[in-house]
Amino acid sequence: MEQNFGLNDIVEMKKPHPCGTNRWRIIRLGMDIRIKCEGCGHSVMIPRREFTKKVKRILEKAED
């Protein structure tokens, strides 16, 4: 299943962040994707292939 992700979309990952929040904002797209925790503000950069495996669903699409 191909999902289309956009900048500033809010996604839910399969595993929650240690701070307890499971909402992440996409802040960079490319070969690597940087996501930022909506709870504590921690950001993580992961390869796109790994991101597509770990994402559960898109919670909010960003307004264009």
pLDDT in tens, 33-62: 999 999 999 999 999 999 999 999 999 888
Residue-wise burial string across 18-37, b where 16 or more C-beta atoms lie within 10 A, e elsewhere:
eeeebbbbbeeeeeebbbbb
1-34 per-position pLDDT tens digit: 457 888 999 999 999 889 989 999 999 999 999 9
Token pair, residue 47, equals 């390869």
Residue 1 has what pLDDT? 45
- Write down the pTM of the prediction: 0.85
pLDDT of residue 2: 56
